């Protein structure tokens, strides 16, 4: 595969085009320039206080002294026009349809392998593929119910999908709290600029989960959110979503299998659950089936699931669809199941398992991003242009030792969006994670989580690596 | 519907908030006495440590029984699970765990209390700042209670929280009395001595009752003080008051769930005893024995509630 480098070089700013504001930002920019900068800085500090007080924090693994940290919040919104958004939604919805069709296929007839569109080994040798799911039909036929598609932009009309996050995407609570905070800080701004609301997400999530209840559940299903516990980095979000949906927040220690159903221990005895929105990884879900040391899951839940007596969102084994090795085949997957070309582009990807690709990657390490196939959260990756010669050398050794463990991508010139700094507005790179819900239909909330690399020039937006967030506006135009 | 684990979290969250507040009151009492009578100051700090159930832990290390070491141990020391800071950490951890059961106001009040006290107790407290720090602890816990009472629905969540608060409070009051029980025993030699007056003050001050006592009783009679803290049903820190509240909370739960448990009988029996007993009965039984039994039974009630409502 060959890609033209210059394709990615020009940096696209979402707010400004030359000396003018781009159309979606016009109204905002007018408002912004009428504001007293000192007051904006004050508001920015208020925002931090709000987050601290409400306890919207996350834990950073391996940093004991900063056990609870805030994700920095920037008060300049990231704005998309209605038109831009509609196009994204088309692409996203096409993609999640393909993902669900792929998952059904891969755990049933495996047509896509028979057709030779993707190699068999990449499924057979993949840890994310769960043989326990073969032949299982999840309630409602849905595998991935909640998806957070990571999208980056490089030009006016160029959007790329970075990752599909089809297993347990997090961050939706920030989408909601960021909007809440913006509306508290700048109520007058929302009078001036018509922004589509996101706050019905918890209701939509609840509706979606209810819609995939097991067939034998008549009436209103009992729904619960399964969290690994209050020390998990995303605990705030788990509690937040359970609270907003009005459902129970449970841990593995609350659950057990009683009479063929998964039930939670209440003050009045055990009560069965119909739909479980789990925020625990596959491996920890059932110590009888997967990791026997897990205390986060429920012994025997897989048997209940296979018997069709509980819906689990997202379904076990969903990770096979957002694996980084599978990612590189997404254009083929979308075409195979929808019969159409993918609307959203994939970032060109070299699979280091292929000898020709490996040697290309090794030769061009200084301009590539190399990621672990199973890694996440920005850990274990190399950003070639930012790394020193020594770091690249060390990484090359790891690459040669286990090539199949890595993929490589060009360093995209991510779009920028201004953030408020002490010396005024300054451009920083952003990405976008819209959230999609799949059940009897697909629901996409107009907005998402915009992550921003707060360090000047940095391309890594992960919160665990010093990234921040912004409110994401989709205009009602 | 409430998870057993959530009921457990609510119960302990409130026990620890109550404990933090009572600890501040105990330290306040100890400090006041240390200021007014230097000769017996270390004795006073020892009895404060005993009331707090922390003497053994304190004495595991070689350190003086003086204001600086004892207050540091009771306010800041994270190796002491009942210090104010440890209590606030535990209370907040439990609150985080049951966050979905709390109103936003309640959660924010406890989170803010934790942030404020952590800031305040980050470094050893200078004796000059001690009164202000103790006031802040009492104020923060009062704010939590205010937010809780002002915004929470009176349902099972509220009942389990009440049980935690009242069982902890009854335990604390009984311990304070038990440490000082000998002062209340009639002894001709002590009556009217200066030591005596300070001892009364210790007891009443540590339950914030030095003024209200005098609204009701004439002089500082041992029987009156015991009556006030054990049997007076209007005194919010008395054993009788706590057990009235405990029984109310358990009754609400029985109504809501349509089921009674062993804990109902245990609490009712204790309440009945506190209602029918007179101070002279208690003194006849022996005040120390009475309090010892009370502390044991009160603890057993907590365990029984945990078993009856599936805390674990």
pLDDT in tens, A36-51: 999 999 999 888 888 8
Question: Has residue B193 got a pLDDT over 60?
Answer: no
> Chain B contacts of A268, Cβ < 8 Å?
1, 257, 259, 310
Instruction: Give the confidence band of A64 by pLDDT, cuts at 50, 70, 90.
Output: very low
Residue A258 lies in a domain: yes
Beta-carbon count within 10 A of A175 CB? 24
Across the interface, do A268 and B97 touch by the CB < 8 Å criterion? Answer: no
Question: B48 and B30 in contact (C-beta within 8 Å)?
Answer: yes
Which of A106-120, B32-46, B183-197 ranks highest by mean pLDDT? A106-120
Beta bridge partners of A69: A58
Look at B32 and B85; give whichever has higher pLDDT.
B85
Q: Where in the sequence is the domain holding A379, given as residue range(s)?
A: 348-411
Rounded to whole angstroms, the Cα distance separating A228 from B224 reads 53
Instruction: Give the confidence band of B186 by pLDDT, cuts at 50, 70, 90.
Output: low
Question: A255 and A272 in contact (C-beta within 8 Å)?
Answer: no
| Partner-chain residue, chosen from B2, B4, B108, that has the shortest CB–CB distance to A53 | B108
Question: A92 and A448 in contact (C-beta within 8 Å)?
Answer: no
pLDDT at A50: 82
Question: A287 and A293 in contact (C-beta within 8 Å)?
Answer: yes
Least confident of A121-130, A166-175, A205-214: A121-130
- Please give the span between the terminal C-alpha atoms of chain A, in angstroms, as a whole number: 40
Residue A46 lies in a domain: no
Q: Is B119 an interface residue toward A (CB < 8 Å)? A: no
| Partner-chain residue, chosen from B1, B93, B115, that has the shortest CB–CB distance to A266 | B1
Question: Has residue A5 got a pLDDT over 50?
Answer: no
> Chain B contacts of A267, Cβ < 8 Å?
2-4, 7, 156, 160, 253, 257, 309-310
> Chain B contacts of A59, Cβ < 8 Å?
none
| Residue of B93, B97, B306 to mutate, interface with A, max A Cβ within 10 Å | B97
> Chain B contacts of A243, Cβ < 8 Å?
99-100
- Mean pLDDT of all residues in B140-166: 96
pLDDT at A8: 41
Question: Has residue B256 got a pLDDT over 80?
Answer: yes
pLDDT at A58: 62
Residue A430 lies in a domain: no
Chain A residue closest in CA terms to B256: A268
Across the interface, do B111 and A54 touch by the CB < 8 Å criterion? Answer: yes
Question: Has residue A185 got a pLDDT over 80?
Answer: yes
Across the interface, do B1 and A235 touch by the CB < 8 Å criterion? Answer: no
Considering A283, A309, A335, which residue would you say is the last residue of a domain?
A309
Question: Has residue A240 got a pLDDT over 70?
Answer: yes
Angle subtended at Cα B142 by Cα B138 and Cα B144, rounded to the nearest 5 degrees: 125
Closest by Cα among A159, A106, A198, A170 to A412: A159
Q: Is B259 an interface residue toward A (CB < 8 Å)? A: yes
Q: Is A203 an interface residue toward B (CB < 8 Å)? A: no
Across the interface, do B310 and A54 touch by the CB < 8 Å criterion? Answer: no
- Please give the span between the terminal C-alpha atoms of chain B, in angstroms, as a whole number: 16
Rounded to whole angstroms, the Cα distance separating A284 from A301 reads 11
- Kindly report the CATH number assigned to the domain that includes residue A285: 3.40.50.11290
Question: A227 and B84 in contact (C-beta within 8 Å)?
Answer: no
Across the interface, do A230 and B97 touch by the CB < 8 Å criterion? Answer: yes
Question: Has residue A380 got a pLDDT over 80?
Answer: no
Q: Is B78 an interface residue toward A (CB < 8 Å)? A: no
Residues A301 and A353 in one domain: no
Residue A398 lies in a domain: yes
pLDDT at A378: 62
Across the interface, do B2 and A269 touch by the CB < 8 Å criterion? Answer: no
How would you class A397 by CB atoms within 10 Å of its CB: exposed for 0-12, middle for 13-18, buried for 19 or more?
exposed
Question: Has residue B214 got a pLDDT over 90?
Answer: no
Q: Is B93 an interface residue toward A (CB < 8 Å)? A: yes
Token pair listed for A89: 């939604």
pLDDT at B138: 95
Share of chain A above pLDDT 90, in %: 69
Question: Has residue B260 got a pLDDT over 90?
Answer: yes
- Mean pLDDT of all residues in B225-250: 96
Closest by Cα among B69, B60, B255, B81 to B155: B255
Residue A288 lies in a domain: yes
Q: DSSP character for B123?
A: S
Closest by Cα among A291, A288, A285 to A313: A285
At residue A343, φ and ψ (nearest 5 deg) are: -75, -40
Across the interface, do A266 and B259 touch by the CB < 8 Å criterion? Answer: no
Chain B residue closest in CA terms to A245: B100
- Mean pLDDT of all residues in B73-77: 97
pLDDT at A166: 93
Question: Has residue A10 got a pLDDT over 60?
Answer: no
Across the interface, do B2 and A267 touch by the CB < 8 Å criterion? Answer: yes
- Mean pLDDT of all residues in A114-127: 90
Q: Estimate to the nearest angstrom the gap between the alpha carbon of A21 and the chain centroid.
A: 29
Q: Long-range contacts of range B202-208, CB-CB < 8 Å, 24 or more positions apart?
A: B202/B29, B202/B33, B202/B44, B202/B47, B203/B176, B203/B177, B203/B229, B205/B25, B205/B28, B205/B29, B205/B32, B206/B25, B206/B26, B206/B28, B206/B29, B206/B51, B206/B176, B207/B25, B207/B173, B207/B176, B207/B237, B208/B25, B208/B237
Residues A293 and A365 in one domain: no
Question: B48 and B66 in contact (C-beta within 8 Å)?
Answer: no
Rounded to whole angstroms, the Cα distance separating B292 from B86 reads 26
Question: B45 and B67 in contact (C-beta within 8 Å)?
Answer: yes
Considering A309, A331, A366, which residue would you say is the last residue of a domain?
A309
- How many angstroms separate the most distant Cα atoms in chain B? 59
Residue A112 lies in a domain: no
pLDDT at B39: 58
Tokens 């790179």 locate to: A429
Instruction: Give the confidence band of B201 by pLDDT, cuts at 50, 70, 90.
Output: confident
Question: Has residue B36 got a pLDDT over 90?
Answer: no
pLDDT at A455: 84
Q: Is A398 an interface residue toward B (CB < 8 Å)? A: no
pLDDT at A3: 39
Question: Has residue A2 got a pLDDT over 50?
Answer: no
- Kindly report the CATH number assigned to the domain that includes residue A353: 3.30.1490.270
| Residue of B1, B2, B3 to mutate, interface with A, max A Cβ within 10 Å | B3
Residue A290 lies in a domain: yes
Tokens 């009156």 locate to: B224
Instruction: Work out the mean pLDDT of chain A and round it to a whole number.
Output: 90
> Chain A contacts of B156, Cβ < 8 Å?
267
Q: Is B122 an interface residue toward A (CB < 8 Å)? A: no
Rounded to whole angstroms, the Cα distance separating A248 from A455 reads 39
Task: Give this complex's ipTM.
Answer: 0.84
- Mean pLDDT of all residues in A386-392: 88
> Chain B contacts of A254, Cβ < 8 Å?
3-5
Residues A295 and A373 in one domain: no
Across the interface, do B310 and A251 touch by the CB < 8 Å criterion? Answer: no
Residue A454 lies in a domain: no
Q: Is B275 an interface residue toward A (CB < 8 Å)? A: no
Question: Has residue B207 got a pLDDT over 50?
Answer: yes
Token pair listed for A302: 């897989």
Question: Has residue A421 got a pLDDT over 60?
Answer: yes
Closest by Cα among B107, B137, B102 to B119: B137
Beta-carbon count within 10 A of A69 CB? 14
> Chain B contacts of A248, Cβ < 8 Å?
1, 3, 100
Angle subtended at Cα A120 by Cα A115 and Cα A125, rounded to the nearest 5 degrees: 160
Across the interface, do A264 and B3 touch by the CB < 8 Å criterion? Answer: yes
- How many angstroms separate the most distant Cα atoms in chain A? 68
Rounded to whole angstroms, the Cα distance separating A256 from B128 reads 55
Across the interface, do B310 and A250 touch by the CB < 8 Å criterion? Answer: no
- Mean pLDDT of all residues in A143-157: 95
pLDDT at A323: 84
Considering A358, A389, A411, which residue would you say is the last residue of a domain?
A411
Q: How do residues A254-301 score in pLDDT, each as one tens digit? A: 999 999 999 999 999 999 999 999 999 999 999 998 888 888 999 999
Beta strand A255-258 with A57-58 is unpaired
Q: Which helix (H) or strand (E) holds A401?
A: helix A389-401
Question: Has residue A100 got a pLDDT over 80?
Answer: yes
Helix axes B239-257, B156-179, angle to 10 degrees: 160
Q: Total domain count for chain A? A: 2
CA dihedral A24, A28, A32, A35 (to 10 degrees): 170
Question: Has residue A178 got a pLDDT over 90?
Answer: yes
Q: How do residues A319-355 score in pLDDT, each as one tens digit? A: 999 888 889 999 999 999 999 999 999 999 998 988 9
> Chain B contacts of A230, Cβ < 8 Å?
93, 96-97
| Partner-chain residue, chosen from A235, A243, A253, that has the shortest CB–CB distance to B5 | A253
Sign of CA dihedral B134, B135, B141, B144: negative
Residues A219 and A304 in one domain: yes
Question: Has residue A6 got a pLDDT over 50?
Answer: no
Residues A352 and A305 in one domain: no
Token pair listed for A21: 């504001």
Q: Is A263 an interface residue toward B (CB < 8 Å)? A: no
Chain A residue closest in CA terms to B104: A54
> Chain B contacts of A249, Cβ < 8 Å?
99-100
Q: How do residues B102-150 score in pLDDT, each as one tens digit? A: 998 999 999 999 999 999 999 999 999 999 999 999 999 999 999 999 9
Rounded to whole angstroms, the Cα distance separating B101 from A180 reads 21
Q: Which helix (H) or strand (E) holds B156?
A: helix B156-179
Q: Which helix (H) or strand (E) holds A161?
A: strand A158-163
Rounded to whole angstroms, the Cα distance separating A254 from A262 reads 10
Residues 6+ apart with CB under 8 A from B222: B183, B184, B185, B186
Chain A residue closest in CA terms to B5: A254
Token pair listed for A248: 């129970």
3-class state of residue A275 by DSSP: strand
| pTM, two decimal places | 0.87
Helix axes B41-51, B194-206, angle to 10 degrees: 30
Closest by Cα among A230, A95, A386 to B100: A230
Judge if the upstream peptide bond of residue A112 is cis by omega within 30 degrees of 0: no
Question: Has residue B43 got a pLDDT over 90?
Answer: no
Q: How many CB pairs under 8 A join A and B?
A: 62
Rounded to whole angstroms, the Cα distance separating B34 from B45 reads 8
Rounded to whole angstroms, the Cα distance separating B171 from B166 reads 8
Burial profile A332-368: b = 16 or more Cβ within 10 angstroms, e = fewer = bbbebbeeeebbbbbbbbbbbbeeebbebbbeebeeb
Share of chain B above pLDDT 70, in %: 93
3-class state of residue A387 by DSSP: coil
Residues A300 and A383 in one domain: no
Instruction: Give the confidence band of B37 by pLDDT, cuts at 50, 70, 90.
Output: low
């Amino acid at each position: 595969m060959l890609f033209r480098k210059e394709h990615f070089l020009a940096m696209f700013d979402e707010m400004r085009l030359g000396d003018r504001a781009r159309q979606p930002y016009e109204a905002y920019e007018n408002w912004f320039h009428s504001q007293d900068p000192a007051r904006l800085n004050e508001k920015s500090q208020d925002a931090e206080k709000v987050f601290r007080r409400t306890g919207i924090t996350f834990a950073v693994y391996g940093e004991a002294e900063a056990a609870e940290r805030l994700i920095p919040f920037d008060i300049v919104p990231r704005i998309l026009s209605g038109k831009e958004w509609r196009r994204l939604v088309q692409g996203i919805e096409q993609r999640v349809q393909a993902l669900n069709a792929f998952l059904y296929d891969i755990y049933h007839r495996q047509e896509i392998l028979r057709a030779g569109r993707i190699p068999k080994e990449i499924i057979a040798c993949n840890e994310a593929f769960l043989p326990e799911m073969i032949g299982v039909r999840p309630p409602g036929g849905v595998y991935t119910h909640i998806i957070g598609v990571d999208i980056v932009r490089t030009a006016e009309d160029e959007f790329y999908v970075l990752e599909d996050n089809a297993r347990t995407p997090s961050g939706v609570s920030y989408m909601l709290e960021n909007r809440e905070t913006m509306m508290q800080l700048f109520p007058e701004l929302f009078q001036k600029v018509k922004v589509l609301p996101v706050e019905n997400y918890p209701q939509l999530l609840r509706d979606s989960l209810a819609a995939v209840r097991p067939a034998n559940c008549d009436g209103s299903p009992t729904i619960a959110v399964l969290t690994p516990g209050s020390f998990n980095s995303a605990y705030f979000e788990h509690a937040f979503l359970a609270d907003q949906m009005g459902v129970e927040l449970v841990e593995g220690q609350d659950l057990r299998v009683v009479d063929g159903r998964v039930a939670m221990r209440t003050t009045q005895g055990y009560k069965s659950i119909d739909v479980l929105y789990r925020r625990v990884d596959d491996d920890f879900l059932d110590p009888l089936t997967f990791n026997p040391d897990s205390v986060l899951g429920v012994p025997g839940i897989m048997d209940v699931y296979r018997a069709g007596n509980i819906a689990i969102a997202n379904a076990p084994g969903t990770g096979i669809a957002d694996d980084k090795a599978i990612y590189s085949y997404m254009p083929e997957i979308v075409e195979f199941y929808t019969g159409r070309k993918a609307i959203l582009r994939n970032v060109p990807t070299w699979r280091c398992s292929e000898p020709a690709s490996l040697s290309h990657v090794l030769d061009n390490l200084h301009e590539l991003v190399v990621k672990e196939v199973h890694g996440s959260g920005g850990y274990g990756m190399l950003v070639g242009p930012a790394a020193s010669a020594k770091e690249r050398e060390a990484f090359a050794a790891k690459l040669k030792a286990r090539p199949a463990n890595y993929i490589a991508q060009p360093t995209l010139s991510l779009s920028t969006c201004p953030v408020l700094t002490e010396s005024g507005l300054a451009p920083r790179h952003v990405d976008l994670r819209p959230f999609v819900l799949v059940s009897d239909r697909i629901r996409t909330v107009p907005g998402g989580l915009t992550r921003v690399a707060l360090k000047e020039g940095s391309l890594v937006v992960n919160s665990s690596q010093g990234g921040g967030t912004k409110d994401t506006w989709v205009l009602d135009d | 519907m409430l998870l057993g684990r959530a009921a457990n979290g609510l119960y302990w969250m409130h026990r620890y908030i109550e404990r933090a507040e009572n600890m501040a009151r105990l330290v306040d009492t100890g400090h006041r006495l240390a200021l007014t009578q230097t000769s017996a100051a270390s004795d006073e700090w020892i009895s404060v440590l005993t009331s707090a159930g922390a003497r053994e832990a304190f004495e595991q290390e070689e350190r003086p029984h003086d204001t600086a070491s004892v207050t540091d141990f009771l306010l800041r020391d994270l190796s002491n699970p009942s210090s104010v800071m440890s209590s606030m950490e535990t209370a907040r951890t439990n609150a985080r765990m049951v966050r979905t059961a709390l109103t936003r106001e309640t959660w924010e009040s406890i989170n803010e209390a934790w942030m404020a006290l952590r800031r305040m107790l980050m470094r050893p407290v200078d004796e000059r700042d001690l009164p202000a720090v103790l006031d802040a602890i009492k104020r923060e816990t009062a704010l939590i209670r205010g937010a809780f009472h002002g915004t929470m629905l009176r349902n099972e969540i509220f009942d389990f929280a009440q049980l935690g608060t009242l069982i902890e409070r009854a335990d604390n009051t009984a311990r304070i009395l038990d440490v000082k029980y000998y002062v209340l025993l009639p002894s001709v030699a002590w009556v009217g001595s200066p030591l005596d007056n300070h001892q009364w003050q210790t007891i009443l001050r540590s339950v914030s009752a030095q003024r209200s006592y005098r609204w009701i009783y004439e002089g500082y009679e041992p029987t009156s003080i015991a009556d006030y803290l054990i049997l007076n049903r209007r005194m919010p820190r008395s054993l009788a008051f706590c057990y009235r509240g405990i029984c109310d909370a358990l009754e609400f739960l029985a109504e809501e769930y349509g089921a009674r448990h062993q804990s109902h009988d245990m609490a009712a029996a204790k309440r009945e005893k506190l209602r029918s007993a007179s101070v002279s009965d208690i003194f006849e039984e022996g005040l120390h024995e009475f309090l010892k039994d009370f502390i044991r039974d009160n603890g057993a009630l907590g365990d029984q509630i945990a078993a009856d409502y599936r805390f674990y």
